[in-house]
């Protein structure tokens, strides 16, 4: 038995309920490895989970957190089913870990099928910043979105964690990217990622359509072939209306629904829900375009597909991810509130 520290929430509903606990961690079970965690990667979905706005959130008490990086300390007995994934692991290996909750801890037992070797030159913080967001970008842009060279992609929240991966992967594919951001202070980072000023839209809900037209005109295009959208809300329709025939609008989040306080304002959420984007699916046929959606949690349940998906994402963009903010383990709730505020860039990482 090992002792660990973890951030636990007795039930979803408020960020204020997160409390640090010291607890026993049993030895790793069949097909598991005990990982000594050195860095934890935060995801926007963590905030939704703590607020109780994420459908995959466990009932009752749980430790949030979908990914981390650390060192394998011990291995449990091999899986009885004889599945080989993960069996090449040994104590001392540096790994990136995907976990369906449970990542906010100084040690955890993880299914070995969800451990990916940390690239040799990467830091632990970079490892904790990679899997969820890079897989999301790869799955949405490449696997579902079939982005091709010469196409034009609109990437919302382009300076965020998923967004920066999407920008890099779209450019590596040979596509031209137009990125949107909420605040102009994120511009220099996107310039460092290869976008010129007129390829970046600082979103203004009152004139978003005109902003998109200007950005398209600046690159000599009239329509998007792919829209990568985790905001939805009032920004959905102006973008959707500029989708080319054969275009794909890939929806994978709804940041517009993010409450600003420690707990949801249910009245405001109900109002936003009533005003959510709606359209007639029959028009998709006439205009020859598609709207798609996905949730990476689905891929979490397909462990067999993880190694190939992670390799494909790394092959498309092997640069270490951008860490926008670092916090100490004791500061984890503050790190979450910072991410919730919408002003961070790249990944928010908690170092243990």
Ligand X SMILES: NC(=O)c1ccc[n+]([C@@H]2O[C@H](COP(=O)([O-])OP(=O)(O)OC[C@H]3O[C@@H](n4cnc5c(N)ncnc54)[C@H](OP(=O)(O)O)[C@@H]3O)[C@@H](O)[C@H]2O)c1
Could you list the residues that contact ligand X (CB under 6 A)?
A: 43-45, 132-133, 136, 157, 159-163, 181-182, 186, 230-231, 252-253, 255-256, 258, 294-296, 342, 344
Q: Which residues contact 234 (CB under 8 A, 6 or more apart)?
A: 205, 208, 256, 275
**Is the Cβ of residue 36 or residue 325 nearer to ligand X in the bound state?**
325
Residue 237 has, within 13 A of its CA and on its CB side, a CA count of 11
CB of 77 to ligand X, least distance (A): 32
CB of 4 to ligand X, least distance (A): 25
- The dihedral built from the CA positions of residue 141, 296, 164 and 202, taken in this order, carries a sign that is positive
CB of 280 to ligand X, least distance (A): 24
**Is the Cβ of residue 79 or residue 156 nearer to ligand X in the bound state?**
156
CA angle centred on 334, ends 342 and 24, rounded to 5°: 130
CB of 38 to ligand X, least distance (A): 20
CB of 279 to ligand X, least distance (A): 20
CB of 344 to ligand X, least distance (A): 6
Two tokens at 182? 């909420």
- For tokens 């949801």, the residue is 264
* CB neighbour class for 244 (10 Å; exposed up to 12, middle 13-18, buried from 19): middle
Among candidate residues 105, 95, 88, 51, the one with its CA nearest the CA of residue 73: 95
**Is the Cβ of residue 109 or residue 133 nearer to ligand X in the bound state?**
133
Nearest-angstrom CA–CA distance, 180 and 200: 6
Altogether, the residues listed in the chain come to a count of 352
**Is the Cβ of residue 123 or residue 295 nearer to ligand X in the bound state?**
295
CA angle centred on 295, ends 291 and 301, rounded to 5°: 135
């Amino acid at each position: 038995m090992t002792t660990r520290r973890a951030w636990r929430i007795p039930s979803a509903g408020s960020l204020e309920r997160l409390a640090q606990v010291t607890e026993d961690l049993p030895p790793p079970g069949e097909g598991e490895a005990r990982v000594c965690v050195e860095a934890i990667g935060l995801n926007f979905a963590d905030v939704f989970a703590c607020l109780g706005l994420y459908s995959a959130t466990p009932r009752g008490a749980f430790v949030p957190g979908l990914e981390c990086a650390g060192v394998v300390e011990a291995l449990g007995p091999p899986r009885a089913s004889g599945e080989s994934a993960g069996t090449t692991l040994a104590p001392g290996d540096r790994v990136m870990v995907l976990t369906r909750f449970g990542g906010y801890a100084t040690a955890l037992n993880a299914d070995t099928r969800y451990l990916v070797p940390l690239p040799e030159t990467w830091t632990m913080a970079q490892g904790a910043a990679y899997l969820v967001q890079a897989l999301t970008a790869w799955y949405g842009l490449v696997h579902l979105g079939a982005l091709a060279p010469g196409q034009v992609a609109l990437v919302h929240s382009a300076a965020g964690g998923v967004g920066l991966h999407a920008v890099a992967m779209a450019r590596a594919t040979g596509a031209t990217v137009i990125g949107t951001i909420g605040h102009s202070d994120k511009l220099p980072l996107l310039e460092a990622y290869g976008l010129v000023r007129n390829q970046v839209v600082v979103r203004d809900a009152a004139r978003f359509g005109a902003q998109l037209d200007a950005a398209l005109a600046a690159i000599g295009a009239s329509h998007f072939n792919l829209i990568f959208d985790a905001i939805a809300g009032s920004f959905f329709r102006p973008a959707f209306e500029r989708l080319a025939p054969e275009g794909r609008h890939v929806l994978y989040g709804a940041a517009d629904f993010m409450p600003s306080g420690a707990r949801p304002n249910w009245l405001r959420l109900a109002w936003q829900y009533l005003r959510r984007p709606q359209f007639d699916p029959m028009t998709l046929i006439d205009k020859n375009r598609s709207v798609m959606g996905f949730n990476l949690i689905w891929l979490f349940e397909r462990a067999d597909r993880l190694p190939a998906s992670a390799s494909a994402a790394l092959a498309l963009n092997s640069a270490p991810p951008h860490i926008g903010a670092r916090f100490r383990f004791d500061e984890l709730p503050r790190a979450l509130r910072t991410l919730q505020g919408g002003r961070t860039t790249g990944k928010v990482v908690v170092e243990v």
